[in-house]
Amino acid sequence: MSEFSHIPVLKNEAIEALAIRDNGIYIDATVGLGGYTRAIADKVATGKVIGFDADSRALAIAEESLAEYGERIILKHSNFRYIERVLREIDIVVVDGIVADLGLSSMELDDSSRGFSFRENAPLDMRFDIESQDLTAKDIVNTYSQEKLAELFKNLGDEPFSGRIARVIVEARKIKKIETTQELADVIVSIVPKKFAKKSIHPATRVFQALRMEVNDEIGALRSLLSSSLSLLNSTGRLAIVSFHSGEDRIVKQTFREWREQGWVNILTKKPITPTDEEIGANPRSRSAKLRIIEKA
């Protein structure tokens, strides 16, 4: 049994959104520890669930915990940006539904060696797929120009002090490379005014989010997923996406609207579905989640 656990955000709402059929084929684009995959597999008696994850460690844990479902579940070690290519390799042309939870799993956050969090000191890594990805957070922090860092922190982190933080990072790395999560967090804390540092989130939170998204090209991966999803869905097939970042939600919202204007889909969520107070209380990381759903016309 794994020492890690993960609470799938908006799981019931997302699974209900798929309108699952017994013999359908469904995609869990972000398996994590298998919460969505298991919930879908419980509803398909003769169908299949194909699960994707770029994190081989998470996938290995999911594979063990989902073994009871046998051939009903197919797990693939791949970023969901390659969904169309991987499905072709297993002779699947169309599917009945796709769900994607774009958030970082609790397992990844809680594994200090991965460098996603500043709560424990660790190498600045942040790669989802250590086997195939080269770029790390340490590379970005120590090689990107001040202007590029500031732009990154602003666009992907919504960081109000992006310029100041970029400047102090560049100054600090002239003296010594910034190599660990604690070193970077300390640099950020040194520049953020104390009155803002007392807010509910740590001063380094937005910068760490931006770095993670850049390392893994999460915006690019989302655009690729959206581009592939429409052609992969059967008529009346559904796509459900849970996002946690304003930029990601904006892309999903705009893309769904464009598809509707072309007459390709029906939008089933006029406003995004968000977690209840009870879910946020049980899982504070769910507070920014937004679920949007479309059905192919």
Domain spans of the chain, in order of start: 11-107+218-296, 134-215
Right CATH for 134-215 from 1.20.58.390, 3.40.50.280, 3.30.450.40, 1.10.150.170: 1.10.150.170
Closest CA to 138 of 151, 149, 155, 123: 123
Q: 287: Cβ–Cβ under 8 A, 6 or more apart, which residues?
A: 275, 280
CB 99, CB 49: distance < 8 Å:
no
pLDDT at 1: 37
Cα 16 from Cα 33, distance rounded (Å): 20
pLDDT at 266: 97
Tokens of 229: 């999803």
pLDDT at 195: 67
Right CATH for 11-107+218-296 from 1.20.950.20, 3.40.50.150, 3.20.20.80, 3.50.50.60: 3.40.50.150
**pTM passes above 0.85:** yes
Percent of the chain with pLDDT over 70: 93
Residue 87's identity, in one-letter code, is L
Cβ count within 10 A of residue 112: 15
Specify the 3-state DSSP secondary structure of 236. Answer: strand
CB-side exposure of 259: number of CA atoms within 13 Å?
23
Those residues of the chain that have pLDDT short of 70 are 1-7, 105-110, 195-200
pLDDT at 285: 75
pLDDT at 207: 95
Distance of CA 6 to the CA centre of its chain: 13
pLDDT at 2: 42
Specify the 3-state DSSP secondary structure of 269. Answer: coil
Bridge partners of 267, per DSSP, are 294
Q: What is the pLDDT of residues 129-175, one digit of tens each?
A: 888 889 999 999 999 999 999 999 999 999 999 999 999 999 999 99
Count the helix, strand and coil residues of the chain and give each as a percent rounded to the nearest 5.
Answer: 50, 15, 35
pLDDT at 126: 93
pLDDT at 6: 53
